[in-house]
Amino acid sequence: MPYRDGLYRPDDTALELHVDGPGAYHPDAGRPIPFRLGGPLDVASAVEEDGVTEADPYFEAAIPDGSGRLTGGGSGMGNVGWIARLGTDGSLRWVAPMWDSNPFLGVRFEGPAAVFTNDWRNLLTLDLSEPAFA
Over 70: is that where the pLDDT of 106 sits?
yes
Domain contains 27: yes
Q: How confident is the model at residue 13 (pLDDT cuts 50, 70, 90)?
A: very high
User: Do the domain assignments include residue 75?
Assistant: yes
Amino acid at 9: R
Q: Is residue 50 part of a domain?
A: yes
In-domain check, residue 17: yes
Average pLDDT over residues 62-68: 97
Interatomic CA distance for residues 36 and 18, integer angstroms: 5
- Domain span holding position 56: 6-133
Query: Is residue 1 a part of any domain in this protein?
Result: no
Does some domain include residue 24?
A: yes
pLDDT in tens, 17-62: 998 765 555 666 778 888 899 999 999 999 999 999 999 999 999 9
For residue 127, being part of any structural domain is answered with yes
Domain count, the chain: 1
Residue 20 has a pLDDT of 75
Q: Please provide the DSSP assignment of the chain as one string.
A: -BSSSEEE-TTS-EEEEEE----TTSTTTTSBPPEEEEEE--HHHHHHHH-B---EEEEEEE-TTSS-EEEEEEETTTTEEEEEEE-TTS-EEEEEEETTS--EEEEEEETTEEEEEETTS-EEEEETTSGGG-
